[in-house]
Structure 1
Amino acid sequence: MDYKFLSETNLFKGLSEGDIKKVLPCLKPEEKTYQKNEIILHTGQTTNKIGMIIKGGVNISVLSYWGQGQIFGHVKAGEIFGENYAAVPDKELLCDVIAAKNTEIIFFDFSALVSTCQKSCPYHNELILNLIMIAARKNLLFSSRMIHTSSKSIRDRVSSYLSEQATINNSNYFSIPFNRQELADYLNVDRSALSNELSKMRADGLLDFYKNSFELKKI
């Protein structure tokens, strides 16, 4: 177990490596590995566990009745997923959690995380506060996606998303966690139309790109 890595995550923020070593057994950790495109949690499934990405990353994807996928978010190393459903254990998932690449995950028992254990560990309150903060940040991210997809124009959707990424990275040069199809799904647009618009924006001198790396340019 990489305690240094865990100490740098938002879930264990404020806890030292020694603190984590003491509290971790209470959380019933379970480590698993997944191959790229492997489904980790299925639509209709229930869960009582929170997953944390150790290596790799996952996409949160919603399938329509006709099988068309739409990506609602990406979870990267150090981040967690499944907490909302684990908090309501009888609630069936409305999405698939899919490995975006070869991925290592550690699962924690939700009830053990938010409850004081028999050992009366002094760390549970910090974990609960950290979990609340993570949930609040995720709500803001979902709000951002609604902003990105609110426009009818593909260019406006792309501009909104890439502008946010530039702000997050504090740079006009950055990489995004999506390939072209995943970005199209995230922005809810056709892939070919997205590629055409990106080419037009490059021709107009607005940006340059190579695969999932982008450079925004001043007009």
Structure 2
Amino acid sequence: MEKYLPILRNSPFFKGLSDNEILSILHCVNATVISKERASYIFRAGDSTEVMGLVVSGCVLVMQEDLWGHRNILSKCHAGDFFGEPYAASLGAVLNISVAADEDCEIIFLNVQRLLVTCQTACEHHQKLIRNLVSVLANKILILNDKITHVGKRTTRDKLLSYLSAESIRHSSLSFDIPFDRQQLADYLCIDRAAMSTEISKLQKEGFIKTNRNHFELIACNETDLQADK
């Protein structure tokens, strides 16, 4: 596990913990490492789990799928990100999500039930980890709230602009990369890819955005532009 410490140190789940405390926690929660090839499933809807996953290389998609293969992407997790923690923390809960490798990846599984039972020595780093888990869960709620805001818009254009505006704020820049390719972005926003591509082209022609693959630049409207429109 020592080779993963550079990633674990930067994960919000292990915030404030020393290397020795991290290694101690990994032992406490029965940490195991698995490898998955691109497009293979890690969790499937209908399963139950006692473990949550921590991505240490590659990335995974958290999504909902129907019987006809339609995807609703909830999030994309990169190295240092977690998935499955709400289900692992709720004993017996059935997953209504699937998690699949978006590229070859390595995952550390952590037994959350071991974490939720305070160890006999009531060690300080165990308490820190529980606080960090609450913070991670709260952040996931905020991420899902953002998605609800975007997909709740009425038109494809409004959904795109809502998402891109939020990403710009998150990056504190008008120029940024998004984590999705075009199909994944359409699946995340619950819109048709062709309609989305048409709207992106319109937004570029109208001077709202510039884009190249997953890189976007938003063009802010200034007072001169507003006066010219009058």
Q: TM over 0.5, yes or no?
A: yes
Could you report, residue by residue, the CA deviation over 1:143-170 in whole angstroms, capped at 9, with x for unpaired residues? 1111101111111110110111111111
Which residue identity is paired with 2:180? F
Query: Residue 198 of structure 2 aligns with which residue?
Result: 196
Which residue identity is paired with 1:162? L
When the two chains are superposed, the root-mean-square deviation of aligned CA atoms in Å is 1.3
Could you report, residue by residue, the CA deviation over 1:37-59 in whole angstroms, capped at 9, with x for unpaired residues? 11110110110001001112111
Which residue identity is paired with 1:173? S
Matched, 1:81 2:83: yes
Identity of aligned residues (%): 36
Matched, 1:41 2:43: yes
Query: Residue 126 of structure 1 aligns with which residue?
Result: 128
Matches within 5 A, 1:52-91: 52-91=54-93
1:183 deviation in Å? 0.5
Query: Residue 184 of structure 1 aligns with which residue?
Result: 186
Query: Residue 219 of structure 2 aligns with which residue?
Result: 217
What SS is found at the alignment partner of 1:182? helix
TM-score by length of 2: 0.91
Query: Residue 95 of structure 2 aligns with which residue?
Result: 93
**CA distance in 1 between partners of 2:209 and 2:186 (Å):** 17
Could you report, residue by residue, the CA deviation over 1:88-139 in whole angstroms, capped at 9, with x for unpaired residues? 2311111110112221110111111222235653311111110011111111
1:66 deviation in Å? 2.9
1:22 deviation in Å? 2.5
Query: Residue 228 of structure 2 aligns with which residue?
Result: none
Which residue identity is paired with 1:99? A
The structure that is helix-richer by fraction is 2
Matched, 1:169 2:171: yes
Conserved 8 A contact 2:52-2:83: yes
1:87 deviation in Å? 1.4
| Structure 1 unmatched ranges of 5 or more | none
1:25 deviation in Å? 0.9
| Structure 2 unmatched ranges of 5 or more | 222-230
**CA distance in 2 between partners of 1:112 and 1:139 (Å):** 23
Query: Residue 110 of structure 1 aligns with which residue?
Result: 112
Which residue identity is paired with 1:210? N
**CA distance in 2 between partners of 1:122 and 1:4 (Å):** 22
**CA distance in 1 between partners of 2:190 and 2:123 (Å):** 45
Conserved 8 A contact 2:87-2:94: yes
